[in-house]
Copies of this chain bind each other. A is one copy, B any other.
């Protein structure tokens, strides 16, 4: 079968690899219907994290179950499934606390975990999924209409991650919200804030197509300014004190600083941008303003139950973040488009 292999900095190839086989009894083999490239896949691509040996890559995919191990109870051959960006048993205490991403027996795509074996990356024709019952979310009704595939694929990461920002910050009926970051996660955070009842949502964006999508997703205002100018605009828009909540969906020093300084006294920052080597948070400033910070790596598996029905009936359309679709064979081009920001999010079809 064919799969994407990263060989080193800016060196992505699609090659022949062995077909996956059931190995632990709790596995499923999934034929990938769609996968995608994540912002975090760009870290090794850009050489920020080292690629010691060529390896399969990718951690977001949906597909059809072809085989299941003897100990698999819930997932069945023929099921259409969503794989989150990690593996989890969905039964341990952390999972029951809603923190499936901190599953005490969990693992990561592209890594080896005791008891699970090595879980290959998801940008390929087939993937072995460890702990299939806990990891995979089954979409009712089998293979869905092709138009639904992009939306379902976002539930493996970006839509759940945007939702996590909003949930972590406590967005609720009537909240006023600003979203820092207009990538796929930031755009999904707008969808999340809207469905949770935010009364006003400001998209911080200077890219016209993303501004347009932000508005379609529910942003009531767009602010192109950043830094001090962006903070001043937000303060002014919200009675001189700023919005209740800021969702930080970038992960840089500048974006976190902007988020912290924009929220009103007693406000909350929800953050899902992967902190890029720090910086540390200014605790004294947080103390003096009562602005809280909560978020992190998103427990998306647990959010699928809540979000899936709305994707299926079209109430939310996070799949629209995919503005480029390529065959798996052109994975190198997909990485280039993400790297150069000519695409928001790229879907790969094997």
Residues of A within 8 A of B (CB): 93-94, 97-99, 101-102, 104, 168, 239-241, 256, 264-266, 268, 271, 274-275, 277-284, 286-297, 299
- Known contacts A94-B265, A266-B299, A288-B296; 17 further A-B pairs (Cβ under 8 A): A93-B239, A93-B241, A99-B266, A102-B266, A168-B292, A277-B284, A279-B283, A280-B281, A280-B282, A280-B283, A281-B286, A287-B295, A287-B296, A290-B295, A290-B299, A292-B292, A294-B294
Q: Which B residues lie within 8 Å of A239 (CB)?
A: 93
Q: Are A102 and B284 in contact (CB under 8 A)?
A: no
Q: Are B296 and A275 in contact (CB under 8 A)?
A: no
Q: Are B290 and A102 in contact (CB under 8 A)?
A: yes
Q: Are A266 and B98 in contact (CB under 8 A)?
A: yes
In the bound complex, CA of A239 to CA of B99 (Å): 15
Q: Which B residues lie within 8 Å of A289 (CB)?
A: 102, 296
The complex is assembled from copies of this chain, and their number is: 2
Which one, B97, B271, B282, contacts A265 given CB within 8 A?
A: B97
Most chain B beta-carbon neighbours within 10 Å: one of A284, A290, A293, A295: A290
A290-B296 contact, Cβ under 8 Å, with A102-B266, A241-B94: yes
Q: Which B residues lie within 8 Å of A271 (CB)?
A: 283, 287
Which one, B280, B281, B286, contacts A296 given CB within 8 A?
A: B286
A290-B93 contact, Cβ under 8 Å, with A278-B284, A283-B280, A299-B266: no
In the bound complex, CA of A295 to CA of B265 (Å): 11
8 A-B pairs with the lowest CB-CB distances in the bound complex, closest first: A292-B294, A280-B280, A102-B265, A290-B296, A99-B266, A281-B281, A287-B296, A99-B265
In the bound complex, CA of A281 to CA of B294 (Å): 12
Q: Which B residues lie within 8 Å of A293 (CB)?
A: 281, 283, 286, 292-294
In the bound complex, CA of A281 to CA of B277 (Å): 13
The smallest C-beta distance from A27 to any residue of chain B, in angstroms, reads 25
A281-B283 contact, Cβ under 8 Å, with A266-B97, A297-B288: yes
The smallest C-beta distance from A163 to any residue of chain B, in angstroms, reads 14
The smallest C-beta distance from A198 to any residue of chain B, in angstroms, reads 16
Q: Are B266 and A94 in contact (CB under 8 A)?
A: yes
In the bound complex, CA of A274 to CA of B294 (Å): 20
Residue of B nearest to A238 (CB): B93
